[in-house]
Structure 1
């Protein structure tokens, strides 16, 4: 039993179009964030510690060197790659700098496209035009937007620094440029339950999206939420709760939407909780089992949690 039996994954989607395996290679281009440098706020989102997802990449490594390092970590070498600008806000910078960084990645051997992770309020028309130009050249292009929730109360509570309308505006622009959008959603944010997750999914689907990425809320060192969790003021989802809620959203998502991720992991000692996020396979196996019993993506068959 594999995830691709029940979910339209980015891996299976790329393989069907490129006729071979395509993997993402994570890049840290040393971007910052307007919610940290004082432009719109300081301290960042309450859940954020970039090291939990970017890993330890020496500052002195160039884009090409990072890609080479990531390729060397892969078990299968004869494959194609997408350069994934993941850490912080990867459209937040001077246009010429962004152009140089993206071009360095696209010029690397075996790289067939880029994924650009960013905030909904940091995507200019010039950047969208640049991404559109790459796409017209035959490159695979994904704009990955960290939304997390469509609930404005939640966005304010987690110090996100923007509301849902900011997301809607950039998605509308991306559609005009025919750029594929992958939206990131977090399950388990403070004050939210399955009704909130359903409402967020429905709003995102109604506004149009090509891809989704689901994450459980993870408490990591260096975040504001870490203090709340350590003092007993923050509850987190159990593995069973996450699996049921994630499966519910997957089943309600049309098959043509591509899932880039249905769970997430982080490494100790950065990860404080939940401990089940330290390993990839237990949640994936449980999600597969749940979907096999209740209906795969697009079936709408998973009952409300």
Structure 2
């Protein structure tokens, strides 16, 4: 079976609702981060190096040109979502946000916005602005970087916020009709598969429309890279990640959309685990596990308890 037959994937969800392929175009809005500029902290999250997933040179290019450049790289799509990805994309005055978002929405082939941000950096004015676009008929996703629901880990990775910040802003956003996508990382220092399942339970209990899941990437330039190079941090293996991800997907209600079940980064920025160079490795392995033991939602209602998967290989 193909992955979209086992998981409610974002691509398939868009295809079903729009009747054709819709692709996300990643943008760099030139935003900063309050966990880097001293507002709440410096140095950022210990796992973070934006260059591992975003082109830092793009911030010098106008939004309209970024969209044109990215659309030219995409095959088999005629409609797009403008995805503000790098840093904290609600971290500005609301009129600045309005100008930037509307510059992205001007294109006739843009059907909506995906806005990546922190749960402690979404003021009411930004929520209301995004709700305006949703009410105008645009597809709008608020993508919140949570990573984990465990306070000890949030402190350890220098996240700068607690789970309550996520809970509060998620409930406010969904009350306004906005869709919320939660970003989660498997393989954070000190966390087990049971911890990952506990995080998922709290996210589901709060209410969520989408989930982005990937393994911890240890990347050059991050604080974690120094710990890994000194032998104080171990990268998660492919088998362990796929076992955990499959269980999380099985415990996820079928209506929740998975925007991602794995992610990739490239060397030399990526230090470990090297299997993350190819996101299809994990996607294929997760699909095999789900095909053998149950698709998304098959464990809903069962206890959120980790047991070693018995996968037919």
TM above 0.5, one fold?
A: yes
Aligned to 2:172: 173
- Give the 3-state SS of the residue equivalent to 1:54 in structure 2: coil
Distance 1:17 1:57 in 2: 34
Per the TM alignment, residue 56 of structure 1 is displaced from its structure 2 partner at its CA by: 4.6
Deviations 1:206-249 (A, max 9, x none): 00000000010000011000000001100111000000000000
Distance 1:236 1:168 in 2: 29
Q: How is 1:1-305 mapped onto 2 (pairs within 5 angstroms)?
A: 1-76=1-76, 78-300=77-299, 304-305=307-308
- Give the 3-state SS of the residue equivalent to 2:144 in structure 1: strand
Distance 1:191 1:204 in 2: 20
Conserved? CA contact 2:58–2:66, under 8 Å = no
Distance 1:254 1:61 in 2: 40
Tell me which stretches of 4 or more aligned residues in structure 1 moved more than 4 Å: none
Distance 1:224 1:304 in 2: 32
- Give the 3-state SS of the residue equivalent to 2:59 in structure 1: coil
RMSD between aligned residues = 1.2
Please report the TM-score for the alignment, with normalisation by the length of structure 1.
0.97
- Give the 3-state SS of the residue equivalent to 2:58 in structure 1: coil
Task: Give structure 1 stretches of 5+ with no counterpart.
Answer: none
- Number of aligned residues: 304
Distance 1:53 1:229 in 2: 19
Distance 1:226 1:59 in 2: 25
* Gap change, CA 1:214 and 1:65, over 3 Å in 2: same
Distance 1:126 1:114 in 2: 17
Distance 1:257 1:166 in 2: 21
Deviations 1:67-121 (A, max 9, x none): 1110111122x42100000000000011111101100011123100000000000
